[in-house]
């Protein structure tokens, strides 16, 4: 419990700001509350110490690589994507302190996230709670490369809406310089804005649940079949891996029940969501893709989680829009209570061990060597 306290306190603080922002009619106060929320967010994550997992690898690369090594090394041999490497070494040329680089990445992410939220949501503090609960906590700590790529993509959505392919593809190309998974966003220019209809959502959602609950290893079967055509010996290796791999899939967890609940609500209020938001299809489709990736890739936990993060932004908008869909005021309050309680549970579950112990460099933080000892002892047993 003690390791989760700073993160839970942040959620409570944002909840107070969200309630105040919703309660006031004064636009100036709302703007100040938004700026306060963003400022606290930047302070919390921008000045974080060695928290979570990926800092161990990023710190090593940051301290090892030098500017003069880039021209002498093939791009394919660079540690990370070109955009991220250039950003990292630019920060290092300004300061050799790793925490400066970490702050710059957090600031870039927040600026891009704030631009996205200012366009699509009214209550930024509440949106930040949902963001942190639904993928944002990991994006703001571990996924330093991927998070910048995702935030860039989110700022390409207005061009997707306006059907302006050139700026959309240019931004996706820029995102690709930070993380190669951004390539997945390119074909969605032709798909994400379409109104597929409630029946398509229902069919895909039902099939996904069946695959998940019945533990059907769809991806493994497809890979195994393809490998049998290409190379029979490769098929034998994949089949051997399938036998050794621990079963993943059927698990009636709080997370699964939440996805089931959210999917049902979207189906019930499908038409009303389009009344609330003109471009609702983008976020409904993103949510459906999130569900699809989670259900169909459940046999590979890392793939399922990492790829579903790419479309978690559907939650950040749809959950707020669902509040407006309830005609009865008490139902709105109950749903907001659900969002708060679930977010607290989600954050608690995600941070309740020593690897996530929060440090702030403004006050004090453990040295790299001390934190690395803790990381090496506990990381494999927890992850």
241 is a domain residue: no
DSSP 363: T
The answer to whether residue 40 sits within a structural domain is: yes
Count other Cβ atoms within 10 Å, centred on residue 359: 16
Say what the pLDDT of residue 249 is: 46
Q: Is 368 contained in some domain?
A: yes
Dihedral sign of CA atoms 372, 375, 378, 381 in order: negative
pLDDT band at 86 (very low <50, low <70, confident <90, very high): very high
Q: Does the pLDDT value for residue 177 go beyond 60?
A: yes
pTM: 0.90
Is 296 a domain residue?
yes
Asked if the structure places residue 55 within a domain, the reply is yes
Q: Check residue 163 and give left, alpha or beta (phi > 0: left; psi -120 to 50: alpha).
A: left
Strands (E), 116-240: none
Mean of all residue pLDDT scores within the chain: 89
State the total domains in the chain.
1
Give the domain extent around 194: 5-215+250-382
Q: pLDDT tens-digit profile of 107-164?
A: 999 999 999 999 999 999 999 999 999 999 999 998 899 999 999 999 999 999 999 9
In a domain, 242, yes or no: no
The pLDDT of residue 62 is 93
| Each residue's pLDDT tens digit, 300-347 | 777 777 788 999 999 999 999 999 999 999 999 999 999 999 999 999
Residue 257 maps to a domain: yes
Question: Would you say residue 231 lies in a domain?
Answer: no
pLDDT at residue 106, rounded to an integer: 96
Position with higher pLDDT, 77 vs 50: 50
Torsion, Cα 106 108 114 120, to 10 degrees, reads: -120
């Amino acid at each position: 419990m003690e390791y989760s306290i700073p993160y839970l306190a942040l959620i409570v603080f944002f909840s107070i700001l969200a309630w105040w922002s919703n309660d006031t009619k004064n636009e100036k106060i709302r703007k100040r509350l938004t700026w306060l929320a963003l400022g606290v967010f930047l302070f919390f994550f921008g000045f974080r110490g060695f928290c979570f997992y990926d800092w161990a690898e990023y710190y090593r690369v940051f301290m090892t690589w030098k500017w003069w090594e880039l021209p002498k090394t093939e791009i394919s041999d660079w540690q990370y994507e070109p955009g991220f490497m250039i950003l990292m070494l630019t920060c290092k040329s300004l300061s050799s302190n790793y925490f400066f680089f970490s702050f710059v990445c957090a600031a870039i992410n927040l600026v891009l996230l704030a631009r996205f939220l200012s366009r699509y949501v009214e209550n930024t503090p509440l949106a930040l709670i949902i963001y942190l609960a639904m993928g944002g906590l990991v994006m703001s700590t571990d996924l330093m490369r991927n998070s910048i790529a995702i935030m860039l993509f989110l700022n390409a959505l207005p061009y997707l809406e306006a059907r302006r392919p050139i700026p959309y593809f240019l931004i996706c190309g820029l995102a690709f310089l930070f993380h190669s998974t951004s390539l997945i966003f390119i074909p969605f220019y032709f798909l994400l804005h379409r109104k597929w209809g409630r029946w398509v959502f229902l069919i895909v959602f039902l099939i996904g649940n069946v695959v998940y609950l019945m533990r059907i290893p769809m991806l493994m079967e497809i890979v195994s079949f393809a490998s049998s055509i290409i190379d029979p010996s490769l098929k034998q290796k994949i089949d051997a891996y399938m036998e050794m791999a621990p079963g993943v899939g059927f698990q009636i967890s709080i997370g699964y029940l939440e996805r089931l609940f959210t999917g049902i609500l979207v189906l019930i209020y499908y038409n009303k969501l389009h009344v609330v938001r003109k471009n609702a299809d983008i976020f409904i489709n993103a949510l459906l893709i999130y569900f699809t990736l989670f259900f169909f890739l459940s046999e590979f936990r890392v793939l399922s989680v990492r790829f579903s993060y790419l479309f978690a932004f559907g939650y950040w908008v749809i959950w707020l829009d669902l509040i407006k869909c309830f005609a009865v005021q008490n139902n709105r309050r109950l749903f907001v209570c659900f969002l708060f309680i679930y977010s607290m549970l989600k954050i608690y579950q995600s941070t309740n061990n020593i690897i996530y112990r929060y440090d702030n460099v403004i006050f004090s933080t453990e040295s790299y060597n001390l934190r690395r000892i803790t990381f090496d002892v506990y990381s494999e047993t927890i992850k």
